[in-house]
Amino acid sequence: MRKEMYPIRSQLKSKRIRFEKPQNTISWAFMKELRENNKTRKIYEVNPYVEVYLFQENLYGLFTENCDGMGDVWMYLIIGPEKAMLIDTGFGLGDLKGLVDELTGGKEVIVVNTHDHFDHAYGNCRFDKVYCHEYLAPYLANQHEHMWDYLFDAWGENIWLQFDKEDLPAFKPYEITGVPDGYTWDLGDGYEVELIHTGGHAAGHAAYLDKRNRILFTGDNICSDVSGCGAVGKPRANGPHAECTLLTYYRDRVKFLVDRLDEYDYIFPSHFMINLESHLMEDVLETVEKILSDPESCDYKTETYGKERDSADVRYFKYIKGFSVIGYTYDK
């Protein structure tokens, strides 16, 4: 019998129709508690699709339901002394720019992406300019006016999430600025945020290190549902720098983040549980090492069949001590 994820009470304009797959029970309990009882939660009139949470004096978590059937999404807004930084833009549902402007009081906003996937970068076109790791720029340049079409069936009805089609952005090209690993922005008075290239979940995937709040925003490489952070054998993606989606590449970058543990206390992923204690990074490294030394010896596997495939897509899973799982593909 299929596990159902019962709805979490919410005042959002969007309403869940169905999830693509059942989700991690413990993550679900965390999200239910947070979303139903957190005292800072607020929905602004300007954008009824986003729950706004205040996690630090100058850090907002912007929660939005995923327009497709995958996990709901966190975006983050850091307010610096002179400038603000928005990490990711979701699907762009609702007036995200209006909301950000209201929260910042009209400060200049630096928009950055962790990676290019639907649920993190489709709202970019609501802004004039976006920064990302240089490997990500060509992927973002592929965005177009029909990229939201898959959210609707042949009759134009919403498939996974009920929302008004008119509340999606009208696509417009925007400036994409790719920057190298280690690039640092100053939000004023020496408030630094650094981009750290991680690869793993996507070739140009980056984490962002807020040096003043001592927080690392890890995008989709660490997730309390399933961390999809690389493949063994063959890269998971086509296109430029696809080799960065290999688990060997991610292992080296996690090692780099473990070496820098004295610079951050908390990890904020882009889905589900947030405010994770930073030493989780060591357990991630340990699990990645174990997978690489013997990819076949996973904790469990799943098989899915695509429409035109007669053999199954196999996904392997291995537990991170005290946390959730890493999911990976293995091409021998």
Q: What is the nearest approach in angstroms of Fe ion to the Cβ of residue 310?
A: 29
Binding segment toward Fe ion, per CB under 5 A, in 114-122, 125-133, 182-190, 254-262: 114-122
Nearer to Fe ion, 83 or 205 (CB): 205
Rounded to whole angstroms, the Cα distance separating 223 from 200 reads 13
Q: What is the nearest approach in angstroms of Fe ion to the Cβ of residue 56?
A: 23
Q: What is the nearest approach in angstroms of Fe ion to the Cβ of residue 307?
A: 23
Q: What is the nearest approach in angstroms of Fe ion to the Cβ of residue 212?
A: 26
- Nearest by Cα to 190 from 263, 81, 104, 109: 81
- Nearest by Cα to 13 from 46, 41, 50: 50
Binding segment toward Fe ion, per CB under 5 A, in 113-121, 240-248, 250-258, 320-328: 113-121
Size of the site for Fe ion (CB under 5 A): 2
Nearer to Fe ion, 115 or 126 (CB): 115
Nearer to Fe ion, 107 or 133 (CB): 133
x/- string (CB under 5 A) for Fe ion, residues 202-231?
------------------x-----------
Burial of 326 (0-12, 13-18, 19+ CB in 10 A): buried
Binding segment toward Fe ion, per CB under 5 A, in 111-119, 168-176, 179-187, 315-323: 111-119
Kindly state the DSSP code that residue 245 receives in the 8-state scheme.
G
User: Does 51 contact Fe ion by CB under 5 A?
Assistant: no
What beta strand segments (E) does 65-197 contain?
73-79, 83-87, 108-112, 129-133, 161-162, 175-179, 184-186, 192-197
- Locate 165 and state its tokens: 């089609």
x/- string (CB under 5 A) for Fe ion, residues 167-206?
----------------------------------------
x/- string (CB under 5 A) for Fe ion, residues 70-89?
--------------------
Nearer to Fe ion, 122 or 249 (CB): 122
**Sheet with 206-210: strands ordered across:** 184-186, 192-197, 206-210, 215-219, 266-269, 276-277
- Locate 11 and state its tokens: 């005042």
What sign does the dihedral 209-265-317-270 (CA atoms) show? negative
What sign does the dihedral 176-182-183-186 (CA atoms) show? positive
Nearer to Fe ion, 79 or 267 (CB): 267
Q: What is the nearest approach in angstroms of Fe ion to the Cβ of residue 114?
A: 8
- Nearest by Cα to 124 from 100, 156, 154: 100
What sign does the dihedral 129-131-134-136 (CA atoms) show? negative
Q: Are 5 and 23 in contact (CB under 8 A)?
A: yes
x/- string (CB under 5 A) for Fe ion, residues 117-136?
--x-----------------
Interface ranges with Fe ion (CB under 5 A): 119, 220
